[in-house]
Structures are given as C-alpha cells and as structure tokens.
Amino acid sequence: MTPTMLWRPTSSNTKTGNIPQGYVGKTRSETERSCEGCPLRRNGCYHWFGQPIAAQSNMQKRAAKREGEGLPDDYSLSYAVEHSYRNARYVRGAVGGDPWVFARETVEGWVDDIKKAGLRGLLLYTHFAADKARHLCGLALASVHSLVEADQRIREGWRAALVVPYKVPGSKRNSLRNVPEYNGEKFVTPGGERGIVCPEQLGKTVTCNSCGLCDPSLKKPNLIIFLQH
C-alpha cells in the first residue's frame, strides 16, 4: 500500500508557528503502521497521548468522506503551500506518524516543491534512523532515545534530536506533573557532542518557523535537545 501524507496549510501550534503541516496516513491504520516499533508509541508520545491525535483523526474522517477517486486537493502539499500564512518559511512534516514509510525520492520531491514555492525547507524527524529510515539520512533528523544513540547516529551522518526527562519551566501539563523542570542542565554525549536546547522552550521569542535550527539540510549543531512538552 502506498502511504499518504495529509497536508494542511496552517497550524495553531504556538511552538511551530503558523506553518503548513503534514500528517502520515489517510487512515488510522496507516498512521499506526508508521509508528509500529517506536518506544514512545505506548510510553508518553505527545502526539498519541495528546490533542494532536484527535485532530488527525477528524482530518482522516473528513478526507475519507470526500475522497471519491482520489485524495481531495485540499489535502495536497501544493494546496497547503499555496494557502499557507504569508510569513511561513518552513513546512513541518509527519506531525503525526513517522516518515520512514515514504521513499527518499518522495521526500526529496516534497523538499523541491517547497523550495520552488519560496519556502526554506521541510522540518522532519524519524524515530527509525537506525534501521527502517536509513534512506532518509540528510532529509530528516534522527529522533534518538539516549546520548549514546545520538553519537551512533551522528557517526552515520545524521543530525539528532533527543527528548530529555525534564519539562519546560512553568509547564502546567497534568501528565508531566511528576517530571522535574529544566534548570540549566548541560547535555553532552560520551563522544563530546554538545546538545543545544530548543530556543523556543527556553522562552526565546522564536518559533520553529523563525528559528530553523532543525532544518535537516543544516550541518550544525549535530544534537538538538527537546524538553518534554
């Protein structure tokens, strides 16, 4: 079965900013398949255990009702980019689901189309950089699960992203009530790679759209640190 990404032109996510976003799977089973084997799927994934999955489910239901012979045009990347907020610089892919299910050529095509439209690039992450997503090296960041794994993926040519066991200072999210707040801890891999904490989570007046630190086409930094959110 050929996987599908459902694209939408805008977002109310204050962290990313108002940018086009893509969701893996035109059905819940497609989304589930893309996440199968991820250690976070049953263990606190912000997407599956938060509001985003409800939004994605509603989107899938709307798309299914209108599909007919093919995917409705307003769930295409071209529609999303054309109808995006005028200050959008990036597109966020795979907000829900994992992009390993897409061929490298498909993702490269998305990046080309995004840049031709005048945007800077595609923000993409995968939890399967060690195996199923090896073909996406350079097109996505490797979402790793430890500082040791970060070293491994970086040696293979990836830039890495790691969620650490601290929450954003001042977070009121009930599910994180027992998680300690971040208090300036430093994160360095055994191989000496220093992690850079997401500036937006440190209270900087930036969004993913204005920051661009996670653009996979950049060379540095090799490791981005995310607080739980």
Give me the amino acid identity at 18.
Answer: N
Ramachandran sector of residue 210 (left: φ over 0; alpha: ψ -120 to 50; beta: rest): alpha
Residue 137 has pLDDT above 70, yes or no: yes
Residue 119 has pLDDT above 80, yes or no: yes
**Could you tell me if 143 and 127 are in contact, meaning their C-beta atoms sit under 8 angstroms apart?**
yes
Point out which residues pair with 7 in neighbouring strands: 22
d(CA 53, CA 24): 11
* Per-residue confidence (pLDDT) for residue 49, from 0 to 100: 61
d(CA 14, CA 215): 18
What is the percent of the chain where pLDDT is above 70? Answer: 90
* Per-residue confidence (pLDDT) for residue 66, from 0 to 100: 64
Chain-centroid distance, C-alpha 37: 17
Domain edges within the chain: 5-228
- Report the C-alpha dihedral over residues 84, 8, 52, 143, rounded to 10 degrees: -80
Residue-wise pLDDT tens digits, 1-56: 688 999 999 999 899 999 999 999 888 889 889 888 887 666 666 665 666 676 77
Residue-wise pLDDT tens digits, 83-117: 999 999 999 999 889 999 999 999 999 999 999 99
